[in-house]
Amino acid sequence: MNSGVTHLFTPGPTNIPEAVRCAMNVPAQDHRAPDFPELTLPLFADLKRLFGNETGRVFVYPSSGTGAWEAAISNTLDRGDRVLMSRFGQFSQLWADMAQRLGLDVVCVDREWGEGVPLQDYERHLADDKTIRAVFATHNETATGVTSDVAGVRRVMDATGSDALLFVDGVSSIASIDFQQEEWGVDLAVTGSQKGLMLPPGLSMLGVSAKALDGARSSTMERYYFGFDAMLETNDAGYFPYTPPIPLLHGLRASLDLLFDEGLPEVFARHHRLAEGVRRGVDALGLSLCAVAPEWYSDTVTAVTVPEGVDGAQVCRIAYQRYRTSFGGGLAKVAGKVFRIGHIGHLNEVMCLAALASAEMSLADAGAKVEPGAGVSAAQTYYRDTAPALATTTREPGR
């Protein structure tokens, strides 16, 4: 008997709030109608607020985050341009692969999978090589549960006098972890709908600085579907240069309303608190994280290193087949070595406790020597100790 729900604790797609699901249940709509900008223009403005982008633009593409990666590169750089990147997980690796395929001259710094953007290495390369036209940083490496210091990257660039563009992959960080595009001097920032924005997959958002918009005018790399020029011309009037996924835009409206109603600082604090509870639960089970030090810990996904002799992929299979729970598996270099607990978007303390309970059972069934309940108990203690004070209410007599 399949009662209840299948629990989703992947780092994307994430759980979709009921308000967002309902908002997407709309009849077919004319995307050229005179009142369509009533939906889109406030969306464009609120996305700038979400990104912390005051003087640039945020474009919305009907694609996964990979599409916005390609849009960022193809609109602002030329084939043969020298760029600085780092590789420390599956998604930073894929971004470097794309840059090479698009004809860029990639200087790539490889680091241990479990570390993040290497600021000292970046500083050395930027000081020695003034031909670097762009610097790339993966803010949150979803494959390893690692968050990097984007503001630190900008400080390094400024210290070396670099005039390069700063590209940031914020797919699993924006709307969940503090991100300030303008303040941090980020020129191009990418995110996707299926992470902190709590939507189905299908939309990517690209925050573009005024500097990057200006640079796009002289870029010679081929592009068509992802071109900034057509987006600028049509977005200004509230339209798109092609048919947009209208139900997703209605869902985006509901998602942004939920985020702003909670308050972005509160959203970031909630993610940190929930993540810390999960980390304490993992520690209580005697397990370690893929992230090699607390300075790298991610507040949207925890990659758990499985014990010797235990297959992380088997842990995920057991969780799904026996306990109706989806975890993220290990990717590429860490395949079979980790499993990933996503704690991003629409979730709360009890949901995180359920994730830990399912992880405990699945690990034990896969042969790990863990004490059932230990992780849940540690997380419960942390959540209780850090719970907000109860609101006091006064009831009228007889009510």
Q: What pLDDT digit, counting tens, does each position of 72-81 carry?
A: 999 999 999 9
In a domain, residue 126? The reply is: yes
Q: What pLDDT digit, counting tens, does each position of 148-195 carry?
A: 999 999 999 999 999 999 999 999 999 999 999 999 999 999 999 999
Q: Does residue 347 sit in the same domain as residue 318?
A: yes
Q: What pLDDT digit, counting tens, does each position of 359-387 carry?
A: 999 999 999 999 999 999 999 999 999 99
Q: What is the pLDDT of residue 312?
A: 98
pLDDT band at residue 395, thresholds of 50, 70 and 90? low
- Reported in sequence order, the residue ranges of 89-176 that DSSP labels E, i.e. its strands, are 105-110, 132-138, 140-141, 146-147, 165-169
Q: What pLDDT digit, counting tens, does each position of 7-50 carry?
A: 999 999 999 999 999 999 999 999 999 999 999 999 999 999 99
This prediction has a pTM of 0.96
Single-letter amino acid code for the residue at 1: M
Q: Does residue 298 sit in the same domain as residue 243?
A: no
392: pLDDT strictly greater than 80? no
Number of domains in the chain: 2
- Checking 96-103 for CB contacts under 8 A at 24+ apart, the result is 96/136, 98/66, 98/69, 98/70, 98/73, 99/73, 99/136, 102/70, 102/73, 102/74, 102/221, 103/79, 103/221
Quick check: 136 and 93 in contact, CB under 8 A?
no
Give the CATH number, domain containing residue 98: 3.40.640.10
Q: Which of 261, 280, 309 is the last residue of a domain?
A: 261
Q: Does residue 277 sit in the same domain as residue 239?
A: no
Q: Does residue 128 sit in the same domain as residue 248?
A: yes
Dihedral, CA of residue 90, residue 63, residue 55 and residue 82, to nearest 10: 50
Domain that holds residue 299: 7-13+264-385
In a domain, residue 393? The reply is: no
Single-letter amino acid code for the residue at 391: A
52, two tokens = 């912390």
Q: Does residue 236 sit in the same domain as residue 300?
A: no
Q: Does residue 329 sit in the same domain as residue 359?
A: yes
In a domain, residue 1? The reply is: no
Q: Does residue 126 sit in the same domain as residue 178?
A: yes
